[in-house]
Structure 1
């Protein structure tokens, strides 16, 4: 059984970015390589994408075409409503489908790409839609039924997302939905050697970190507002990330807004632009607490799991699939509530015993939910198809 992964055209199968889907593919393929009878994983990547690439999956290269324009996307939406194929997105993914057709019959895991089962409908490959987000929001049930008619299964990264997906599908397809939660690399992401800094004696401020894209949905502004409410000089807040994957890019309007917000109050807030994945483990080890203040129903936050694996207490929004990632090891607040977040962080700041207990529970939960756990669940789904 060979597995071929389809990622978004133009996405980079490289540690030089923090892109979520390639990270998931790399984690699953790395875990699969440890099996007694390893399963070959390949990933279809556009030939011009970044190198070096992850070595966990072999590359099937293709020559890409320009993506749909905004007008194309609107026309596709209208075509879908009329029961017709979405031609622009089909054209965008056509080179991928053609590259897969040259391969021996395989299991094709098409990540966030509902069009691929339709493009490969007359091929010998068995296609599984792998949903990392709510993909069918703009689809009628009739269109979803036609587009996914030949799909062998649907995998969602959380039960929260699976509920939304089942609701968008006709009963026959809803019965094909499975849940495979994301894992975490517990070797790369691990606690710092020795005990954590003793702030009570060293006088060093407690470091509370946010890691993620600088977009409103991720809620970095919620954390900064919580910092302003606290106004404590024994705490420092480190906001890590950029709008995209280029640390040298000009600041977006939202990023400028964040800096203005931080400058307006007494809190110690520092900004670190995007860091690539090789630098992330050490960065997380420099923190004492991880905050995940998402205001949208994030299906499955990778950074939250990486914080757990690092042995950090994690305070997160109770929304979407985040509680499934953190389980009983996380601390929760309602989304978009700076006051509640400030109170939760204050409790941690004032109780070293609580921090130690939550950090130990975090690491224990992560060890039980690593990429081998995720691959075992996915392998079971595939074998059941």
Structure 2
């Protein structure tokens, strides 16, 4: 069985989407499966091996083959169709050697995936990162692109091999963790620093954390934000300066995965994942920030939502999403108690072991194998 993982975004694209595809493909290859990752080319002329080590923090694996395709350029737009068509032809070639399991979360590729399945020994799997077939849960305007993606999912998901879900509401195979070297819990605790990773948006809990800064400062607790763009950080800094709180908050812009994790290994005592309560955050998202915290054995203070529980498990302390007083109280109690803090880091490390990328890759391989066997029978 050959695995092919497809993502239309560019190699070395900032943020979690491409990093998750790389981690999944690398984990499958590390288990000995021939694995091909198809994505858009980036504008940087570095080698794949250099990028794996320096940007993603991963060692090259002989069974991992990365294909970076240039997009078609029309005026100022770069079309992903070129990536899909070239991946389609490459998968055709692979299918002449062995059965191929193709995984993608790009709905636009579903028609080609259904065509591959019909013509060749190819099984297609869709990794669902959202829920587009129905829009009853959306509180904002339903965009034309959402309706288009919903039509693609309704029409073509029945024509492929299966769906890989991230949350229990969808059938549960969360994204993974990387076990980074252990650090001294006491040194971590003494930093008295809450960490937030990802986009600086209210929906993901940034607003709640900003609101808690004055009370956190009274308890000698700092905050470090990993993520956000320069303009967002400048606005946030200006607001903190007006309140005389700028010395209690640090900002680090989006960084390559390897650089980000090196910084997180040195910084922070507790990870914060106070996602706001809506349908998407409750049932559809797999909070990557919680996976980041687990990877570094950080205790987690998170929203009392199913999606956060599913990832953090016993490593989390859970609050109402807007409970700033509870956030301050929980963080202070944990940081003021060395033994309790040490036990919390152990729970986080135990949960990270359960969610390692290799474990997820093994579950995907088992699921794909079972689907192939069922279809053969």
Could you state the TM-score of these two structures normalised by the residue count of structure 1? 0.75
Shift of 1:66: 5.3
Structure-1 residue corresponding to 2:187: 197
Is the contact between residue 273 and residue 302 of structure 2 (CA under 8 Å) also seen in structure 1? yes
Q: Is 1:212 the equivalent of 2:211? A: no
Compare 286-295 and 262-271 and name the one that shifted more. 262-271
Structure-2 residue corresponding to 1:374: 360
Is the contact between residue 117 and residue 128 of structure 1 (CA under 8 Å) also seen in structure 2? no
Q: Is 1:311 the equivalent of 2:297? A: yes
Of 295, 301, 304, which residue of structure 1 is paired with 2:287? 301
Any idea what the Cα deviations from partners look like across 1:86-142, whole Å, max 9, x if unmatched?
A: xx987884454344344325111012x123221232222221111123344445977
Structure-2 residue corresponding to 1:150: 159
Correspondences of 1:233-272 after superposition (within 5 Å) = 234-243=220-229, 250-252=230-232, 255-265=233-243, 267=245, 268-272=248-252
In the comparison of the two structures, how many residue pairs are matched?
330
Is the contact between residue 205 and residue 233 of structure 1 (CA under 8 Å) also seen in structure 2? no
Is the contact between residue 194 and residue 269 of structure 2 (CA under 8 Å) also seen in structure 1? yes
Of 339, 355, 368, which residue of structure 1 is paired with 2:325? 339
Q: Which runs of 5+ in 2 are unaligned?
A: 53-59, 136-145, 372-377
| 2-structure distance, mates of 1:376, 1:5 | 15
Structure holding more helix per residue: 2
Structure-1 residue corresponding to 2:143: none
| 1-structure distance, mates of 2:75, 2:161 | 27
Any idea what the Cα deviations from partners look like across 1:255-288, whole Å, max 9, x if unmatched?
A: 4442233224454112122222112233223211
Q: Which runs of 5+ in 1 are unaligned?
A: 71-87, 163-177, 244-249
Shift of 1:159: 1.2
What secondary structure sits across from 2:187 in the alignment?
Answer: coil
What secondary structure sits across from 1:129 in the alignment?
Answer: strand
Any idea what the Cα deviations from partners look like across 1:57-101, whole Å, max 9, x if unmatched?
A: 31234331359999xxxxxxxxxxxxxxxxx98788445434434
Q: 1:323 to 1:158 in 2, by over 3 A?
A: same
Is the contact between residue 224 and residue 251 of structure 2 (CA under 8 Å) also seen in structure 1? yes
Shift of 1:374: 0.9
| 1-structure distance, mates of 2:238, 2:274 | 19
Q: 1:65 to 1:340 in 2, by over 3 A?
A: farther
Structure-1 residue corresponding to 2:270: 289
Give the root-mean-square deviation of aligned CA atoms.
3.0
